[in-house]
């Protein structure tokens, strides 16, 4: 009876994580502008786990298919299934460690533009929405390429109510020029 309760608890937790991550992942591009940093991290790790799991599953599936089609003995032995499971777990862990870095490198090297939403405020002028400080406050800047971690340019904290009263304009912006070394370590 104890095992059944543990199993139901684990299944419930896994389903909660899947549905929560999928709900955040299914937001539109405009809705993603207004999500907080914590929600962005949840989306990132949800996608990383999902992509790593899919890659590990397909590598294991390819191994099993290769083993059944190329071996003389068409019957899979227990050692083949064990190796396939260990291979899948190994690939999953390797993907978890390396996939985020690989995607960030591809993004830094090959993608030249990014999109930001701009609003025109009476007191400040045109500002770009960089991120959300919390669910009620936007961090904005006149420069769309402002790095919030560096803090070298002025940023504005604007209430979401103020943003919602003004029209948003989506702009395609060229990423700032950086040398290859800066792109690799970012």
Q: Which of 82, 110, 138 is the last residue of a domain?
A: 110
Q: Is the domain of 6 the same as that of 98?
A: yes
Q: Is the domain of 64 the same as that of 22?
A: yes
Which is it for the CA torsion 104, 105, 110, 113, positive or negative?
positive
The tokens of 148 are what? 């919030």
State which residues form the domain around 102. Answer: 2-110
In this prediction, residue 177 carries a pLDDT of 77
Q: Which of 57, 79, 110 is the last residue of a domain?
A: 110
Tell me the C-alpha distance between 133 and 39, whole Å: 12
Does residue 186 form part of some domain? no
In this prediction, residue 1 carries a pLDDT of 63
> CA-CA distances (angstroms) from residue 163 to 50, 127, 154?
34, 10, 18
Q: Which of 58, 91, 110 is the last residue of a domain?
A: 110
In this prediction, residue 110 carries a pLDDT of 84
In the chain, the number of structural domains is 2
Q: Is 151 left (phi over 0), alpha (psi -120 to 50) or beta?
A: left
Does residue 184 form part of some domain? no
The tokens of 10 are what? 């684990």
pLDDT in tens, 109-143: 888 888 889 998 888 888 888 888 888 988 888 88
Does residue 183 form part of some domain? no
pLDDT tens for the chain, 186 residues long, are 677 777 777 777 776 766 777 777 777 888 888 888 888 888 888 889 889 989 999 999 888 888 777 766 666 666 677 888 899 999 999 999 999 888 888 888 888 888 889 998 888 888 888 888 888 988 888 888 877 776 667 788 889 888 888 888 889 888 877 766 666 666
In this prediction, residue 90 carries a pLDDT of 93
């Amino acid at each position: 009876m104890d095992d059944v309760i543990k199993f139901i608890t684990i299944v419930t937790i896994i389903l909660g994580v899947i549905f929560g991550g999928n709900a955040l992942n299914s937001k539109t591009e405009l809705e993603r502008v207004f999500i907080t940093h914590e929600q962005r991290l949840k989306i990132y790790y949800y996608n990383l786990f999902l992509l790593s799991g899919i890659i590990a599953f397909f590598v294991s599936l390819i191994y099993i298919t290769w083993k059944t089609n190329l071996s003389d003995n068409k019957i899979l032995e227990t050692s083949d299934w064990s190796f396939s499971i260990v291979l899948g777990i190994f690939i999953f862990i390797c993907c978890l460690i390396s996939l985020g870095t690989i995607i960030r490198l591809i993004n830094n090297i090959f993608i030249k533009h990014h999109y930001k939403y701009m609003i025109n405020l009476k007191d400040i002028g045109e500002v770009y929405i960089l991120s959300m400080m919390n669910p009620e406050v936007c961090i904005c800047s006149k420069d769309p390429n402002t790095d919030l971690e560096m803090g070298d340019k002025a940023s504005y904290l604007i209430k979401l109510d103020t943003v919602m009263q003004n029209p948003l304009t989506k702009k395609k912006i060229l990423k700032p020029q950086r040398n290859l070394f800066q792109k690799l370590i970012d």
